[in-house]
Amino acid sequence: MILTVEDTEGLAENSGRIFLGKLQDCLCTLCGKNNRFNMAIYEFEGYKPVVNESAYVHPQAAVTGNVVIGKDVYIAPGAAIRGDWGKIVIKDGCNVQENCTIHMFPGVTVVLEESAHIGHGAIIHGGHIGRNCLVGMNSVVMDNVELGAECIVGAMSFLKEGMEIPERKLVVGNPAKIVKDVSDEMIEWKTKGTELYQQLPGQLHESLKECEPLREEPDDRPSQSKKYETWGKTKK
Protein backbone atom coordinates (compact mmCIF):
# COMPACT_ATOMS: atom_id res chain seq x y z
CA MET A 1 0.00 0.00 0.00
CA ILE A 2 1.40 3.37 -1.04
CA LEU A 3 0.42 6.50 0.90
CA THR A 4 0.39 9.86 -0.83
CA VAL A 5 1.24 13.16 0.86
CA GLU A 6 -2.48 13.93 0.99
CA ASP A 7 -3.15 10.60 2.75
CA THR A 8 -0.53 11.23 5.42
CA GLU A 9 -1.84 14.75 6.02
CA GLY A 10 -5.35 13.34 6.46
CA LEU A 11 -4.13 10.71 8.89
CA ALA A 12 -2.26 13.32 10.90
CA GLU A 13 -5.30 15.56 11.05
CA ASN A 14 -7.56 12.67 12.14
CA SER A 15 -5.04 11.53 14.75
CA GLY A 16 -4.86 15.07 16.07
CA ARG A 17 -8.63 15.18 16.49
CA ILE A 18 -8.60 11.87 18.36
CA PHE A 19 -5.77 13.05 20.61
CA LEU A 20 -7.51 16.33 21.41
CA GLY A 21 -10.75 14.50 22.12
CA LYS A 22 -9.02 12.14 24.54
CA LEU A 23 -7.21 15.06 26.17
CA GLN A 24 -10.50 16.91 26.65
CA ASP A 25 -12.05 13.81 28.23
CA CYS A 26 -9.12 13.55 30.65
CA LEU A 27 -9.31 17.22 31.56
CA CYS A 28 -13.05 16.94 32.15
CA THR A 29 -12.44 14.02 34.49
CA LEU A 30 -9.70 15.86 36.38
CA CYS A 31 -11.77 19.03 36.68
CA GLY A 32 -14.85 17.15 37.77
CA LYS A 33 -16.94 18.02 34.73
CA ASN A 34 -20.04 15.82 34.46
CA ASN A 35 -19.45 14.99 38.12
CA ARG A 36 -22.25 15.52 40.67
CA PHE A 37 -19.87 17.62 42.77
CA ASN A 38 -18.98 20.05 39.99
CA MET A 39 -20.04 23.17 41.87
CA ALA A 40 -18.72 26.74 42.15
CA ILE A 41 -17.66 26.47 45.80
CA TYR A 42 -15.11 28.92 47.21
CA GLU A 43 -13.10 28.97 50.41
CA PHE A 44 -12.74 32.43 51.98
CA GLU A 45 -10.38 33.31 54.84
CA GLY A 46 -10.26 29.70 55.95
CA TYR A 47 -14.03 29.12 55.80
CA LYS A 48 -15.08 26.33 53.46
CA PRO A 49 -18.76 25.86 52.61
CA VAL A 50 -20.45 22.71 53.92
CA VAL A 51 -22.80 21.12 51.37
CA ASN A 52 -24.81 17.99 52.09
CA GLU A 53 -24.29 15.27 49.49
CA SER A 54 -27.99 15.22 48.59
CA ALA A 55 -28.12 18.96 47.85
CA TYR A 56 -27.66 20.33 44.34
CA VAL A 57 -25.69 23.51 43.69
CA HIS A 58 -25.74 24.46 40.02
CA PRO A 59 -22.28 25.12 38.50
CA GLN A 60 -23.42 28.64 37.58
CA ALA A 61 -24.26 29.49 41.20
CA ALA A 62 -21.55 30.73 43.58
CA VAL A 63 -21.26 29.63 47.21
CA THR A 64 -18.58 31.40 49.22
CA GLY A 65 -17.16 31.05 52.71
CA ASN A 66 -19.09 30.33 55.90
CA VAL A 67 -22.12 28.59 54.39
CA VAL A 68 -23.93 25.44 55.53
CA ILE A 69 -26.33 23.80 53.06
CA GLY A 70 -28.59 20.98 54.27
CA LYS A 71 -30.29 17.95 52.77
CA ASP A 72 -32.28 18.13 49.52
CA VAL A 73 -31.51 21.82 49.03
CA TYR A 74 -31.63 23.26 45.51
CA ILE A 75 -29.41 26.23 44.59
CA ALA A 76 -30.26 27.46 41.09
CA PRO A 77 -28.13 29.05 38.34
CA GLY A 78 -27.04 32.61 39.07
CA ALA A 79 -27.60 32.41 42.82
CA ALA A 80 -24.97 34.15 44.96
CA ILE A 81 -24.63 32.74 48.48
CA ARG A 82 -22.04 35.02 50.10
CA GLY A 83 -20.81 33.85 53.47
CA ASP A 84 -17.82 36.17 53.39
CA TRP A 85 -18.82 38.62 56.16
CA GLY A 86 -21.09 36.32 58.18
CA LYS A 87 -22.63 32.86 58.31
CA ILE A 88 -25.43 31.54 56.09
CA VAL A 89 -27.40 28.46 57.12
CA ILE A 90 -29.75 26.97 54.51
CA LYS A 91 -31.59 24.15 56.23
CA ASP A 92 -33.04 20.93 54.83
CA GLY A 93 -35.49 21.13 51.95
CA CYS A 94 -34.95 24.80 51.05
CA ASN A 95 -34.63 26.14 47.54
CA VAL A 96 -32.89 29.32 46.38
CA GLN A 97 -33.89 30.02 42.81
CA GLU A 98 -32.26 31.74 39.84
CA ASN A 99 -30.40 35.03 40.42
CA CYS A 100 -31.11 35.22 44.15
CA THR A 101 -28.63 36.86 46.52
CA ILE A 102 -28.08 35.99 50.17
CA HIS A 103 -25.73 38.31 52.09
CA MET A 104 -25.44 40.29 55.32
CA PHE A 105 -23.66 43.02 57.30
CA PRO A 106 -20.46 41.82 59.03
CA GLY A 107 -20.93 39.35 61.87
CA VAL A 108 -24.59 38.56 61.10
CA THR A 109 -25.94 35.02 60.63
CA VAL A 110 -28.62 34.52 57.99
CA VAL A 111 -30.86 31.47 58.46
CA LEU A 112 -33.33 29.90 56.07
CA GLU A 113 -35.33 27.45 58.16
CA GLU A 114 -36.53 24.10 56.80
CA SER A 115 -38.45 24.18 53.51
CA ALA A 116 -38.01 27.92 52.95
CA HIS A 117 -38.74 28.75 49.32
CA ILE A 118 -36.90 31.75 47.82
CA GLY A 119 -38.36 32.78 44.45
CA HIS A 120 -36.53 33.91 41.32
CA GLY A 121 -34.47 37.06 41.76
CA ALA A 122 -35.19 37.62 45.46
CA ILE A 123 -32.66 39.16 47.85
CA ILE A 124 -32.24 38.10 51.47
CA HIS A 125 -29.92 40.59 53.19
CA GLY A 126 -29.44 39.77 56.84
CA GLY A 127 -32.99 38.52 57.41
CA HIS A 128 -34.27 35.37 59.11
CA ILE A 129 -36.68 33.29 57.03
CA GLY A 130 -39.00 31.02 58.98
CA ARG A 131 -39.90 27.39 58.36
CA ASN A 132 -41.90 26.68 55.20
CA CYS A 133 -42.05 30.35 54.13
CA LEU A 134 -42.38 31.53 50.55
CA VAL A 135 -40.54 34.68 49.48
CA GLY A 136 -41.95 35.71 46.11
CA MET A 137 -40.05 36.61 42.96
CA ASN A 138 -37.89 39.76 43.04
CA SER A 139 -38.76 40.53 46.66
CA VAL A 140 -36.22 42.09 49.03
CA VAL A 141 -35.93 41.06 52.68
CA MET A 142 -33.70 43.53 54.52
CA ASP A 143 -31.53 43.28 57.63
CA ASN A 144 -32.91 41.99 60.93
CA VAL A 145 -36.26 41.03 59.43
CA GLU A 146 -37.91 38.15 61.30
CA LEU A 147 -40.29 36.32 59.01
CA GLY A 148 -42.42 33.87 60.99
CA ALA A 149 -43.08 30.28 59.98
CA GLU A 150 -45.36 29.62 57.00
CA CYS A 151 -45.57 33.23 55.87
CA ILE A 152 -46.00 34.10 52.21
CA VAL A 153 -44.36 37.21 50.78
CA GLY A 154 -45.89 38.43 47.51
CA ALA A 155 -43.74 39.03 44.45
CA MET A 156 -41.78 42.31 44.30
CA SER A 157 -42.37 43.16 47.95
CA PHE A 158 -39.92 45.16 50.07
CA LEU A 159 -39.58 44.19 53.72
CA LYS A 160 -37.77 47.05 55.43
CA GLU A 161 -35.09 46.62 58.10
CA GLY A 162 -36.29 45.22 61.42
CA MET A 163 -39.79 44.12 60.39
CA GLU A 164 -41.20 41.34 62.57
CA ILE A 165 -43.85 39.25 60.87
CA PRO A 166 -45.81 36.74 62.99
CA GLU A 167 -46.45 33.21 61.73
CA ARG A 168 -48.88 32.50 58.90
CA LYS A 169 -49.20 36.02 57.46
CA LEU A 170 -49.52 37.16 53.84
CA VAL A 171 -47.19 40.11 53.23
CA VAL A 172 -47.26 42.26 50.09
CA GLY A 173 -46.23 45.66 48.75
CA ASN A 174 -43.49 48.28 48.81
CA PRO A 175 -43.21 48.99 51.67
CA ALA A 176 -44.58 45.59 52.64
CA LYS A 177 -47.66 45.25 54.82
CA ILE A 178 -49.51 42.34 56.38
CA VAL A 179 -52.77 42.00 54.50
CA LYS A 180 -54.27 38.80 55.94
CA ASP A 181 -53.63 35.40 57.46
CA VAL A 182 -52.33 32.52 55.35
CA SER A 183 -55.10 29.94 55.10
CA ASP A 184 -54.67 26.18 55.34
CA GLU A 185 -55.39 25.96 51.61
CA MET A 186 -52.68 28.50 50.78
CA ILE A 187 -50.02 26.77 52.86
CA GLU A 188 -51.00 23.41 51.38
CA TRP A 189 -50.48 24.89 47.89
CA LYS A 190 -47.13 26.38 48.91
CA THR A 191 -45.94 23.14 50.49
CA LYS A 192 -46.82 21.13 47.40
CA GLY A 193 -44.76 23.49 45.22
CA THR A 194 -41.79 23.26 47.57
CA GLU A 195 -41.97 19.47 47.49
CA LEU A 196 -41.33 19.61 43.73
CA TYR A 197 -38.11 21.54 44.42
CA GLN A 198 -37.14 19.04 47.12
CA GLN A 199 -37.31 16.28 44.51
CA LEU A 200 -35.32 18.30 41.98
CA PRO A 201 -31.79 17.80 43.43
CA GLY A 202 -32.04 14.02 43.08
CA GLN A 203 -33.41 14.34 39.55
CA LEU A 204 -30.60 16.71 38.57
CA HIS A 205 -27.91 14.45 40.02
CA GLU A 206 -29.32 11.60 37.97
CA SER A 207 -30.11 13.19 34.62
CA LEU A 208 -28.64 16.67 34.10
CA LYS A 209 -25.82 16.73 31.56
CA GLU A 210 -24.43 19.02 28.90
CA CYS A 211 -25.55 18.24 25.36
CA GLU A 212 -25.63 19.52 21.81
CA PRO A 213 -29.00 21.03 20.86
CA LEU A 214 -31.35 19.34 18.43
CA ARG A 215 -32.04 21.32 15.26
CA GLU A 216 -35.66 20.17 14.97
CA GLU A 217 -38.23 19.01 17.49
CA PRO A 218 -38.85 15.25 17.23
CA ASP A 219 -42.38 14.17 16.38
CA ASP A 220 -42.40 11.74 19.31
CA ARG A 221 -41.23 14.25 21.93
CA PRO A 222 -43.30 13.45 25.06
CA SER A 223 -45.34 16.14 26.82
CA GLN A 224 -44.56 17.05 30.43
CA SER A 225 -47.13 16.39 33.13
CA LYS A 226 -49.00 19.23 34.84
CA LYS A 227 -48.06 18.44 38.45
CA TYR A 228 -48.78 21.89 39.87
CA GLU A 229 -50.72 25.04 39.00
CA THR A 230 -50.74 28.69 40.04
CA TRP A 231 -52.61 29.76 43.17
CA GLY A 232 -55.08 31.62 40.98
CA LYS A 233 -56.10 28.41 39.22
CA THR A 234 -55.90 26.28 42.35
CA LYS A 235 -58.32 28.40 44.41
CA LYS A 236 -61.07 28.39 41.77
Q: DSSP label at 168?
A: S
Q: DSSP label at 225?
A: P
Name the pTM for this structure.
0.83
pLDDT at 33: 45
pLDDT tens digits along 180-234? 999 999 999 999 999 999 999 999 999 999 999 999 999 999 998 887 788 787 7
% of the chain surpassing 70 pLDDT = 84
pLDDT at 212: 97
Domains of the chain: 41-184 (2.160.10.10)
pLDDT tens digits along 74-121? 999 999 999 999 999 999 999 999 999 999 999 999 999 999 999 999
Find all residues with CB under 8 Å of 148, minimum gap 6, and list them.
Answer: 130, 133, 165, 166, 167, 168, 169
Q: Is the pLDDT of residue 28 over 60?
A: no
Q: How far apart are CA 136 and CA 172, in angstroms?
A: 9
Q: If pLDDT is split at 50, 70 and 90, which confidence band does 19 have?
A: low
Cβ neighbour number for residue 141 with a 10 Å cutoff: 29
pLDDT at 39: 79
